[in-house]
Amino acid sequence: MEQRQAKRPNFTEAECLALANGVRQFNSIINSPHNSVVTNEAKQAKWKEICQLVNATSMFQRTVRECKRKYSNIKTVAKKGEAHNRKELGKTGGGSATIIKLKPAEEILVSTMHSSSIVGVEGGIDVLENSK
């Protein structure tokens, strides 16, 4: 039978913080579209630097692929949490809002996102509304 590769340990909080700080530092290159100024090689170089920052705080050597996947996962959780918090704060009526406490790495990534990527476009048009 084929042997499975051993499971890698979960990212620690320190690794997540290093990852988030690296993404914040290189946000303009990592999250920009490809064009004549920002190429795929430039993005890969920045991801390698971010991976080095993460590995400096880690007991395990992380790959660029692992760092990208963890970034995607943290960003998804941060978006959901921030969208929930904004929705709760906008509610009217009695009672207190149930706010989700974001982790420090999630707060850093939220600070790098445009608000429309969290709550959508204000006054947007539903293009599928009249197609029924």
* Nearest partner of 67 among 92, 83, 47, 40, judged by Cα: 47
Domain count, the chain: 1
pLDDT digits (tens, 9 = 90+) for 38-73: 788 899 999 999 999 999 999 899 999 999 999 999
Is 30 within a domain?
yes
Cα distance between residue 103 and residue 84, in whole Å: 15
Residue 1 pLDDT more than 60? Answer: no
Query: Would you mind telling me the total number of residues written for the chain in this entry?
Result: 132
Is 131 within a domain?
no
Is 118 within a domain?
no
* Structural domain of 28: 13-90+102-112
Is 78 within a domain?
yes
Is 122 within a domain?
no
pLDDT digits (tens, 9 = 90+) for 8-36: 899 999 999 999 999 999 999 998 887 77
Q: Encode 55-79: b = buried (16+ Cβ within 10 Å), e = exposed.
A: beebeeebeeebbeebbeebbebbb
User: Which DSSP state fits 128?
Assistant: T
Is 19 within a domain?
yes
